[in-house]
Amino acid sequence: MNREHRYLFIAAGLLAGILCLADSALAQGPSVIPAPLSVVATPGVLKIEDGAIVSYEDGDSKARFAAEHFVTLLQRTQGLRLVAKGIHPGTLSTALIAIMKNPPAASIPQNEAYDLNVSPKQATISADDGAGLYYGTVTLWEMLTATKATHGPVELQCVRIHDEPHMHWRGIMLDSARHMQSVEFIWQLIEWMSLEKLNVLHWHLTDDQGWRLEIKQYPKLTEVGGWRQLADVTATTNEEAVKSHRYGGYYSQDEVRKLVAYAAQRNVTIVPEIEIPGHASAALAAYPEFGSSDARLKAPVSGYGIFPNLYNVNDSTFTFIENILTEVMQLFPSTFIHIGGDEAIKEQWESSPKIQAQMKQLGIRSEDELQSYFVKRIDTFLTAHHRRTMGWDEILQGGLAANATVMSWHGVQGGIEAAKQGHDAVLTPVRPLYFNYRQSDADDEAPGRFALNTLSDVYAFNPTPAALTGEQRKHILGIQANLWSEYVVTEDRDAWMLFPRAAALAEVAWTPSDHRNWKDFSKRLVTEMRRYRALGIGFDPAAFRVRSAETLEPNGARVTVRLSNQLDFGTLRYTTGGSEVTASSAQYVGALDLPLPVHLRAATFLEDAIPGSQLDRQLNARSVRMRYSQDLKLCSNEPAIAMEPDPPQQDRPVTLVNYKNPCWIYKAADLNGAKGISVGVLSLPYVFHDRNDAAPILGAPRTANREVEVHLDACDGKLVATLPLDAAVGHAGVSPLRAELENMTGVHDLCLKVVRPEVNPLWSLDWVQLEPLQEKR
């Protein structure tokens, strides 16, 4: 079939240095993420210098944006100053750069495909739509920034690339309801997403803790529902004296319109989420008449968990929701409107005589069917307005609405079930696509859920379930990662949790499985992280960072050190005198036997040091017997969170704690010569709501109020130390406590557990230190 194309040519003209060289470097493909569908190396090199022209057809606004964006991006990250220039269609045949316009019919979805051809004379990008043209410029930008040099001309290897996405939903969900991000950060995130060829920002705008979207008809949604009280971090024994501060805000409709337009230029669709029928506390605090309980909320909830507050099923309530959705649709042109539908505890419906009577009148036999009725009614409304309903996989309960699409988060089974029923689905399973889970178990990791969703876990995810037939798999629209913000409270934390896992997500969604290669991706990711730094993206280098495990020798004068990184990737190099680690530093090949004290530095190398991979440790007889909370084993894993105060404070670090059972195990503690034990403790407000009302483990304090108990070998083993917490009460920072140890020898596990009479505050360990008999200096 003959097809017209848009063309974007990038040529250096007289500035191009033509070198007819075979390109062996492209045998493994260019350093591009996600990996292109087809790459064919061709002879030659195109040299691009300052002043090269990037031209496009006059009057084509999408081509113009792609060209100008490319020029700006390249100058920002590589220092090259190119010139974007419009060309009259009549001169396309002779132009250095040209675009031939072939806009798709409105009823045909854009396919995002592009071709990129680099010859010794020019680089050409062609596409049928603006999305493909944009992605072609992104790929060319990646190729031009694959060099380690940050300024000056770039020699681009000649190549022919044809590329198109494997899946058309490549998304990230950002939770702005629990903790709100600035408009400026969201602008940045949209840009960063588009450079990974991610194309959906699912925006979680309402929840129990906050309503973040201005609705003109119902101003109290933001005036009341947009603000909550956060407990102060300072522990106190007097609950009435606990301080709090007001937290919240919202996005104006003008801000939203600008964000939507900005995203559309970068081929990112913003899909709004308005939660129903549960996760509705903020809305019902503002308009309690639409709730199912006579007990009226005065403000959004300030804790986290699953709350029972549901909308009622009166006609006036549906009018309220439909009026909200009408304004939402005016702001967001996305095909899909996400309505939540998850974690709706039915207690209020079960206990309401009025709702039970309505169920009987409607012929509804269960509360699950009532939820289905609720969703179907909203689905009918959205369908009438030419939109599609999307909800979490709980909308399958009681029967799926006719036009609903399922977002499967309880594993992939919900997506499989929807596809078998002929419904579309997006896969976003908790493991491994919840990016509020930690990326490593290192002691300097950011806050997040206890379990690990590592970079390699994300890359290994299979987005095409084997349980589906070929036809059924067509209903799997794509995949999405979710960043819930209960414990990810700042924008730098948001970026840290998203990147570089977003790169792995992008490749899984864009590149077919038979074109993906984990080892090759890892190498390309090193280059991608250099781009992150040039763009100002704060990312987590946990996968490449060098970690050390130290064992003190019996005489206390030497230490055995083992180095590793999470991916077992690259070459580890080190120094022991505190000097900078370079490519000529000693290579790590096995355990190091070092005298104490020693200043150990190390890094992971792939030609050069990988960004963020450095280790810097001052080792002495004390430091090798110190463990942070994230180095310790939890006595029970669930529910456990690495968390920090809200808002964060400099002297209030991230600690890992099971909030129902604050108890840790120091594995294989060398007690020989240990004369004492010190711990650093801090308090956090207890902000957890358990729908099962499972009681936390408190214990019976042996001292006046509360303490940390230290037991030998097991948590019911011999009590060897008691550290009262009274000195830490009222102190905002980490409080050090110390106790003597008598006649301790050998290697033993130590169980450290908090015993207290009350749930609030939550006491957590920051660190534990075995005090040596005599420190070697």
What are the catalytic residues? 207, 279, 343
What are the strands of the beta sheet with 626-628, ordered from one edge?
626-628, 762-772, 674-684, 735-740
Residues in Cβ contact with 36 at an 8 Å cutoff, skipping those fewer than 6 apart: 29, 30, 139, 161, 162, 163, 511
CB 285 within 8 A of CB 223: no
Backbone angles phi, psi at 148, to 5 degrees: -75, -20
Dihedral of CA atoms 577, 578, 580, 584 in degrees, nearest 10, equals 20
| Residue keyed to tokens 């077919």 | 512
Tokens of 211: 């309503």
CB 192 within 8 A of CB 535: yes
Chain Cα centroid distance, residue 598: 37
3-state SS, residue 190: helix
CA angle 427, 429, 434 (to 5 degrees): 120
Give the span between the Cα atoms of 725 and 720, in whole angstroms: 16
Q: How many CB atoms lie within 10 A of CB 183?
A: 14
Which of 307, 322, 300, 443 shows the shortest CA–CA distance to 378? 322
Give the span between the Cα atoms of 501 and 457, in whole angstroms: 9
Beta bridge partners of 666: 750
Bridging pattern class, strands 655-658 and 476-483: unpaired
Which of 630, 644, 631 shows the shortest CA–CA distance to 684? 644
In which region does residue 183 sit, left (phi positive, over 0), alpha (psi from -120 to 50) or beta (all else)? alpha
Give the span between the Cα atoms of 209 and 342, in whole angstroms: 15
Residue 148, exposed/middle/buried by CB under 10 A (0-12, 13-18, 19+)? exposed
| Residue keyed to tokens 């990974």 | 196
CB 724 within 8 A of CB 703: yes
Length, in residues, of the chain: 777
Beta bridge partners of 606: 608
DSSP strands (E only) in 209-279: 210-211, 227-231, 244-248, 269-276
Backbone angles phi, psi at 584, to 5 degrees: -100, 0
Which of 364, 273, 260 shows the shortest CA–CA distance to 325? 273
Give the span between the Cα atoms of 322 and 320, in whole angstroms: 6
Q: How many CB atoms lie within 10 A of CB 45?
A: 18
Residue 691: its H or E element:
none
Give the span between the Cα atoms of 496 and 227, in whole angstroms: 26
Residues in Cβ contact with 200 at an 8 Å cutoff, skipping those fewer than 6 apart: 169, 170, 171, 172, 268, 269, 271, 478, 480
Which of 7, 16, 19, 210 shows the shortest CA–CA distance to 114? 7
Alpha helix stretches (DSSP H) within 174-227: 183-195, 220-223
CB 146 within 8 A of CB 140: no
CB 661 within 8 A of CB 696: yes
